[in-house]
Amino acid sequence: MAEKFIKIQALYGLLELEPFILLGCLIAITWVFYKFFLREASEERHRSLRNHFRTLLRHYVVLSFLFLVFIFLQTSEPQLGTLAKVTPYVALVTFIWGNVVFVKTSRLIILQYLFLGSMKHGVPLLLVNIFSLILSIVLLFWGITHVFGLEVGPLLATSAAASVILGLALQDTLGNLFAGISLQVDRNFEIGDWLEVVSGIQKTTGQVREITWRSTTLVGFSDELITLPNRFMANATISNFSPPENPIVRRQIFRLAYGENVELAKQILERTVAGIGEIRGIPAPWAYVSDTNEHWIEVKIIYFIDNYGSQFNIGDKVYVRGVEALRSAGLKLARQTFEISDRSALPVEPT
């Protein structure tokens, strides 16, 4: 009965020893690529890749078992009698499982290649998933043509109307998909970057956690998850605060009582802020007088940080340690002053 649906000779021709060995070599090359080119990846990335390799190895072991069973059945058909009828079905399962192993291996190669450009935070799975989907579809159509003898061209032509209807129904989803692809091709941001997304009066700030088929997920300052559609991201104004070559500039204001030693205060603030570990030594912090009046002298300290998400914690350290250092040096901080006038003492205009 299998002969009616399966081109047995074509299927058996695909299940030779050479493709099986080549697939094993491809897995070995993938492992060598990981060992030699991804040594500097983060520990989280290493755990993820090792899990992928363990899964791939299990699939290859199952494939090896199926392949050996197929070889045994094929070479022992005369002695097996009616049991030999299962040989085409075992061959079909082996062929499908081999395609699964090939897709997973190719997916892992693409994943590792993308890891080369982002050792620290990882890569979005959107591009990897799209590659896996396209490769799976190509192998599916190829297998249908060679194993089952079906012509895929007429089938695709007759489904044109259904494709149009499906495309209209999935318009938003497809729009988000292609917007996500364009965002990844442009590479204006990566996973782990801090972004400020502005569209009209709406402003959203967070750290990129994942880019999926439909949306981009950010983590806000309070660890809240923010999900933005990819089409929204593509049309918004995005400010990236995480480029490694551009440190983030922050400032803190201290108000001294009028008449205090300003030069001493600037030296103390610069020295104190430079001693905070999260603040860059180059460019060094620097202080200057930004404003003054009859009650206080305003000194502003400028410093540079690398982690946008830690700016509030770092700012708190700058203020607390700066105040303590100024007071320890005997410098007085300005107090808030209020001027109250007694209106009853003012002369009354004659009516």
Nearest one of 210, 298, 214, 217 to 252, comparing CA atoms: 298
pLDDT at residue 221, as a whole number? 80
Q: Which amino acid is at 247?
A: P
Q: What are the backbone dihedrals phi and psi of residue 348, each rounded to the nearest 5 degrees, phi first?
A: -90, 125
313-319: long-range contacts (C-beta < 8 A, 24 or more apart)?
Answer: 313/278, 314/250, 314/276, 314/278, 314/279, 315/250, 315/252, 317/276, 317/278, 318/252, 318/273, 318/276, 318/279, 319/252
Q: Which amino acid is at 271?
A: R
Q: How far is CA 65 from CA 53, 70, 72, in A?
A: 18, 9, 11
Contact (CB, 8 A) for 14 and 146: yes
pLDDT at residue 165, as a whole number? 53
**Site of tokens 């007071």:** 327
Select the more confidently predicted residue: 222 or 177: 222
Please enumerate in sequence order all residues whose Cβ is within 8 A of that of 189, keeping only pairs 6 or more positions apart, or say none: 183, 195, 208, 238, 240, 242
Mean pLDDT taken over the chain: 81
Q: What is the pLDDT of residues 109-135, one digit of tens each?
A: 988 887 776 655 556 677 777 788 889
Q: Which pLDDT band, with edges at 50, 70 and 90, does 80 fall under?
A: low
Q: What is the pLDDT of residues 229-280, one digit of tens each?
A: 888 888 888 888 876 667 788 899 999 988 889 999 999 999 999 999 889 8
Question: Picking from 41-55, 101-115, 302-316, which range would have the lowest pLDDT averaged per residue?
Answer: 41-55
pLDDT at residue 1, as a whole number? 46
pLDDT at residue 154, as a whole number? 61
What predicted TM-score, i.e. pTM, was given to this entire model?
Answer: 0.59
- Burial zone of 13 (CB within 10 Å; 0-12 exposed, 13-18 middle, 19+ buried): exposed
**Site of tokens 């085409």:** 88
Nearest one of 45, 28, 346, 305 to 194, comparing CA atoms: 305
Q: What is the pLDDT of residues 44-60, one digit of tens each?
A: 778 888 899 999 999 99
Contact (CB, 8 A) for 303 and 287: no
Q: How far is CA 324 from CA 9, 262, 272, in A?
A: 85, 16, 10
Contact (CB, 8 A) for 255 and 290: no
